Structure formats: structure tokens, C-alpha cells
Amino acid sequence: MLIMTIAEYIANQLFRQGVRYVFGIPGGPSIPYLEAFKGAGIEFILTSNEASAGIMADVTGRLTGIPGICHATFGPGATNISTGVGGALLDRSPVIVFTSEMSDTMLNRTTQMNINHQKLFEPLTKATYRLNPENVVAVMESAIRLCKESYPGPVHIGLPADISDIEINVTSSTGSLTENIYYHNNIQKIISLLEKSRRPLMAVGLTAARLDLRVELLSFLEMYKMPVVITPMAKGLIPQDHPCYAGVLFHSLSDYLEDLYEKADVVIGIGYDPVELNYEAWMPDVPLLHFDTRETDFSSKANVTQFTGPAEEWFGILKNLDAGSLIIDDNLIKGIHDEMASVYNGFTSHFGPAAALRVLQDELPEDTILTSDVGSHLHLIGQFWNTHDKGKLIMTNGWSAMGFGIPAAMAAQLNNHEATVVCISGDGGFLMMAGEMVTMKRYNLPVIVVVFSDGELNLIKVKQSWKELPAYGTLLYQDDLFGADIFMGIKVLRADSLEGMRTAIIEALSVNEPVIINAVIDPEDYNWLIVRR
């Protein structure tokens, strides 16, 4: 018989799963759990904002496949962390979020900081539980399993304030919950459509990226050549110089891809998750064959046939295509690439976002881990940043919360100590998470934070211009964002020219500490490079 406290049991189970960090801000009832984490060999990373803790857990789960763990206290702590938890839900990351809750005697009373956490987290998670001494073993087993099952996502566990030191017998489990998934596939219809197709177009998405189907995809394309478009979060799954690679949907200059769409006789979705971009937002009026691990909801008017099942079965079914009869216009794909590159390069002679990104691409190591915040700059990064098959691009697209970039970069650095990690943020996203620069310094995380400073919420301003409206409610500040060469103890390097940007990057790479590059850009490029939608 093994006896331990509830706090010790939770810490022990997490450590056994490979968890080495818990992110959050503690409250009084958290103290026994912090001690248990420390005793088990798990480091508690104190953030400046609970939303950051949720984002760091999200990115940790993405990068490692091990559940990312975050913690917050009652009420406002829980509502703050919910922003990061929502990201884990719609960006499909395995996360367990713990929150302190009132004891049973106070749960339904009017008292300070008291809200119903189960109702709060129900729409943001795959499951939400309230722990008690009788269910702790089953809940932990269920949470660990559910958060990793497809689609991965967050699970919430409420910790009543008075149960941490209760001792339990953990020799046996009372059983854990799992998802029930049933497949209803019309394989003959899929095969019939494949056999007839001569001009298929493949769309690859988030599920394929999460399952890392790069080898399988490239092997398949050697025999069955067809144009391939990808969603932003699948960036890097297929090399940008691959002859079948056409481009990234939704992001900068993606309207140039329309010439490909109109020639397709069927669209084949491989691990395409509509949480990034619904099919109907771009695809032509042709049949859709959608392959994923989970059934997806579609418009009742959609001409779609789904195959729901393990990824290893997808490419076997796709081999019913007649490889010898497929028609691929290599010149069309190359022409689209050349035209997009020409337009983009036309904006690199002055110091705007395109030029700043070009300098970063030239100077950063090819294996750089780049995180991007939400904003106009992300549209350029998503289309034109080259991961060189060695680096990573980390973004949020399903959830798309501003403020993502900095905590994402901290998580990437913690989980890849020797890597070069760079965050690109707009000034609006930076201001949301500026306090995390102290966190970065506290844990000596040598992240390079590049702030594209234009003084405005540019993406909103651009969308206002589409409606022929003047800019309103988008001005962030006047003059200089920092006005000094030190911010919260971190060196700030100002760059307002191509050469200044190059010098700043070289200097930032030479030191083993966090650095901010204040890239004062001309935002005019965005008016021409962002696709109206």
C-alpha cells in the first residue's frame, strides 16, 4: 500500500509523464502543490500574467508531446489563464490547467473571488473536473489521457482549497475516461473520385503538422505529383523549394494561388483542420476528400466525403490515384512563386516589415526557432519565412490571441536550452506581455525579441481602410516606444534602417541574454501585401 498526500500524488504523476515545468502564479492554497512539485523535481515557473502561463503550457505541449501544465488561483487568476487555455483548445495542444477552488463548505456561498470554475472552463476544455479524495486517481489518469488524445487539447482540474494534505491510497485506479470515436467511411466513393481525378489539389493542415507527416507526404509526392497548398500552422512540413509546393493559404499574397484552384477537379485535404481556415473560404466548386483523425463539421451544401481514421491509412487509400494520368503544370506553380517573390522583394529596398524580415532571414541561423505574435507581420511571416527544414515557426492561428509571441518564445527556450529563439511581435502584442520581459530576465532566457514598432494596431487599421473608413481606435503611442536603451533591465537595440537592423541582429546573437530589438518600420507595405478577406 502506497500512502501519499493528494499534492504529492499529483506531482508524482506529472513527473512520471515527463513534466518538468509548471507555469503560473500561485495563491495561498497553491503552496502545498508548489512544495510537492519541487520535491518531485518539477520547477514552478512564475510568470507575470496567468495568460502567459497558459500559452507557455500550450507551446510546451506542442514541442514535447508531453502535457503542458499551468496553474492559477481563484477567480481572476482563473479568468486570466483562460486566455492561454483557449489557445490550447483551438491550436490543439495537450494541456492540463489546475485552478484553486473554494472548499465544499464555501463553494456555494457569497465570498471573495468565488466563481464556478467548471462553468468557466467547460467551453474552453475537453473536460473539466473538481477533485476530491475519492476521485483523484481516476481524474488524473483521465486528464492525462484525454489531453493527449486526438484532437489534443486542454483539460481543467479544480483543486478545492482544503484537500492538498489529505492522504490517499494510490495502489489502484478506479478507471479513467477516454473518448469514444466511431468511423463512418465511404471508401468506395473515395476510391471512385480518386480514380477519375486528373488534376487533384492537395491541402495540408494542422493535424498533418502535429503528426509530423513530412516523410510520408514527401514520399507520396515523389510518385503522385500534384500542387500542394498548406495552412499557416503547417509551415515547414514541405520544403518551399519542393516542385509541388504552391504556397500558404490566407496569408500574404495568397490570392495569387487562385490560378491553381480553378484548374483542380478535386481537393484532397490531408490533416486539414478548418479551425485555421474553412475550406469554403477558398476552394473551388469541386468535390472535397477530407482525411483526418476526427470527423469534421461542414456546411450542409459542401460536396465533401470524409475519411476518418489513423493517418497511416490515408496515403494507402490515396494510391488509388492513377499516377500516370495526373496533370501538373510545373510552369504554373513556378510562375506563381516567381510572381509572389517579385512582389515581395519589391518592398525590401526601404525599411518596412518585408525588409526587416529579409535581414532576419539572412542573419539568423537556419535552425532558429521563431515565434510570431498575431498582427499584420504574421501574414508576411506565414507566407515568406523559410524554416530551411531545420528551424521551427510557432504561431497561433486557431485561437489567434495577441500577446502569444513572447510567452511562446520563453517556453521554446526553456524546452530547447541551446537553440536560438527569436520572437517577432508587433508593438501592440508586446505591450500586452511586456511584464514577461522580467520573467525572461529572471530565468536568464536569451530570447531575441524583435518588436515591429509602427505605433498602431496596423491590422485593424488596414481592415478599416478596406471599408473606406479613417483609422480610429488604433493609435498606440506617439514618438518612440521605448525612449531608452534599457527596458526592465534588458538591453534595447534600436533599428530604423536596413544596416541598423543587420547590426542589431549581429549584436543580439553575440550575447547570451535576452535582448529587445526596436525595429521602427514603415507599415505602408501591409496595405499591399495583406490579402483582403
Please say whether the beta carbons of 70 and 42 come within 8 A: no
Q: What's domain 187-335's architecture?
A: 3-Layer(aba) Sandwich (3.40)
Residues 308-316: contacts with CB under 8 Å, at least 24 apart: 308/181, 308/183, 308/184, 308/185, 309/183, 309/185, 311/207, 311/208, 311/211, 311/213, 311/216, 311/271, 312/216, 314/270, 314/271, 315/216, 315/219, 315/220
pLDDT at 172 (0 to 100): 54
Which residue bears the cell 536550452?
Answer: 417
Strand order in the sheet with 200-204: 245-248, 228-230, 200-204, 266-270, 288-292, 304-308
What beta strand segments (E) does 373-440 contain?
Answer: 392-394, 421-426
pLDDT at 174 (0 to 100): 46
Return the exposure string of 184-207: e unless at least 16 CB atoms fall within 10 Å of the residue's CB, then b.
Answer: ebeeeebeebbeebebbbbbbbbb
DSSP string, 194-263: HHH-SSEEEEE-HHHHHTT-HHHHHHHHHHS---EEE-GGGTTSS-TTSTTEEEESSSTTGGGGHHHHTT
Which helix (H) or strand (E) segment holds residue 62: the answer is: helix 50-64
Please say whether the beta carbons of 372 and 394 come within 8 A: yes
User: Which of 204, 215, 308, 200 has its CA nearest to residue 261?
Assistant: 200
Give the count of beta carbons closer than 10 Å to the beta carbon of residue 38: 12
The hierarchical CATH code for the domain 346-529 is 3.40.50.970
Please say whether the beta carbons of 138 and 176 come within 8 A: yes
Rg, the chain, Cα only:
24
Backbone phi and psi for residue 449, each to the nearest 5 degrees, phi listed first: -100, 110
d(CA 128, CA 369): 33
Q: What's domain 3-169's architecture?
A: 3-Layer(aba) Sandwich (3.40)
d(CA 79, CA 58): 16
197, 307, 327 from 263: Cα distances, Å: 12, 24, 10
Strand order in the sheet with 486-487: 392-394, 369-372, 421-426, 448-453, 515-520, 490-495, 486-487
d(CA 282, CA 11): 46
Domains 3-169 and 346-529 share a fold: yes
First to last CA, the chain: 62
Please say whether the beta carbons of 490 and 516 come within 8 A: yes
Domain boundaries, the chain: 3-169, 187-335, 346-529
d(CA 266, CA 252): 24
Give the count of beta carbons closer than 10 Å to the beta carbon of residue 172: 9
pLDDT at 326 (0 to 100): 96
Task: Decide: helix, strand or coil at residue 129.
Answer: strand
Size of the chain in residues: 533
- Whether the pTM exceeds 0.75: the reply is yes
Which residues, other chains included, contact 324 with Cβ-Cβ below 8 Å and sequence gap of 6+?
none
pLDDT at 1 (0 to 100): 60
Q: What is the dihedral of CA 273, 143, 11, 158, to 10 degrees?
A: 100
Which residues, other chains included, contact 346 with Cβ-Cβ below 8 Å and sequence gap of 6+?
none
- For the chain, 533 residues long, the average pLDDT of each consecutive 10-residue run is 90 97 97 97 98 98 98 97 98 98 85 91 98 96 96 98 92 53 79 96 98 97 97 96 96 94 95 96 95 91 92 95 94 93 95 97 98 97 95 97 98 97 97 98 98 95 94 93 96 97 98 97 95 84
pLDDT at 181 (0 to 100): 53
User: Which of 181, 133, 141 has its CA nearest to residue 159?
Assistant: 133
d(CA 288, CA 523): 38
d(CA 158, CA 117): 7
d(CA 441, CA 420): 16
Query: Tell me, what DSSP letter sits at residue 28?
Result: G
